[in-house]
Amino acid sequence: MGWALLCVGLLLALYTLLRHGLRSSPRPRARPALRGRTAIVTGGSSGIGAATALELARCGARVILATRNALRGEAAASRIRTETGNEEVRFMHLDLASLRSVRAFASTFLHQEPHLHLLINNAGVSAGGTTEDGFSLPFQDYCDSKLANVLHARELATREQDTQVTCYAVHPGFVNTALFRHAPLWLKPLLLPLAWLLFLDPSEGAQVVLDCATRDGLEPLSGRYFTDSGPQQPWPRGRDDRLARALWESSERLVGLGGA
């Protein structure tokens, strides 16, 4: 029994040394006061979204957790209110796999809230199947969506360049979140230990998101792609303005907003 406990202790010590030696964690920054600001965080009930919402609430923002599961959303909102003392944290239902739900959410928000200052498009899924509108959810489409995020930010910045609206595409790093529950069963025994060993915690992954949302002086970099090392050049396809415009116009048609 003594040898077994010693072995377990040595393994835990080795794990801790490897975890801290192999991972590079972004350092938390001081955040500005956000009282009087309203933020929407999609997928805000867990993972990076919950960590982002928690920090925004600590800064005094009014935070809307836009999630599809009411029980988890209400529980997360209650937990953040208790932890921060900020009573301006609430849940609103939003299922991003349903355009009907997206439209209902937008309508409700516009009727209930006078302003929106920060929109954190955090929610993601890679679960297979299709949405109720027929859009595909296999893993390859999830990967393609990351390029689409970069192109979307680029085109949105172009369209809003004469306004005070700014936007940023963010890669938070490799973060250990519940997204891995959708991994194939054969991959989980390999993936999960590696995620615990090498990947960032959600609070660490939230740092670059919070930087882009709250840091002064980034306005001239609207439309750029950010990592925890700051603004980066994406792969050539992520810098293709013609592709960004074509994606925007196709997206408008697909979601029923018209387009050129």
pLDDT digits (tens, 9 = 90+) for 145-202: 889 999 999 999 999 999 999 999 999 877 766 655 556 665 565 666 666 666 788 8
Residue 243 lies in a domain: yes
Residue 204 lies in a domain: yes
pLDDT band for position 38 (cuts 50, 70, 90): very high
The reply to whether 15 belongs to the active site is: no
Residue 229 lies in a domain: yes
Say yes or no to pLDDT of 260 above 50. Answer: no
pLDDT at residue 154, as a whole number: 96
Out of 20-24, 205-209, 234-238, pick the least confident: 20-24
Say yes or no to pLDDT of 124 above 80. Answer: no
| Mean predicted lDDT score pLDDT of the chain | 84
Residue 19 lies in a domain: no
Residue 174 lies in a domain: yes
Range of the domain at 172: 31-254
Residue 18 lies in a domain: no
Which has more pLDDT, 131 or 250? 250
Both structure tokens of 222: 């609207």
Residue 215 lies in a domain: yes
What is the arithmetic mean of pLDDT over 128-138?
60
What is the arithmetic mean of pLDDT over 32-39?
96
Say yes or no to pLDDT of 7 above 50. Answer: yes
pLDDT at residue 172, as a whole number: 87
Both structure tokens of 10: 């040595």
Model confidence pLDDT, tens digit, residues 43-71: 999 989 999 999 999 999 999 999 999 99
Quote the number of domains for the chain.
1
* Residue pair 250/68 in contact by the 8 Å Cβ criterion: no
Residue 11 lies in a domain: no
- Annotated catalytic residue within 15, 142, 168, 225: 142
Say yes or no to pLDDT of 21 above 90. Answer: no
CATH code assigned at 54: 3.40.50.720
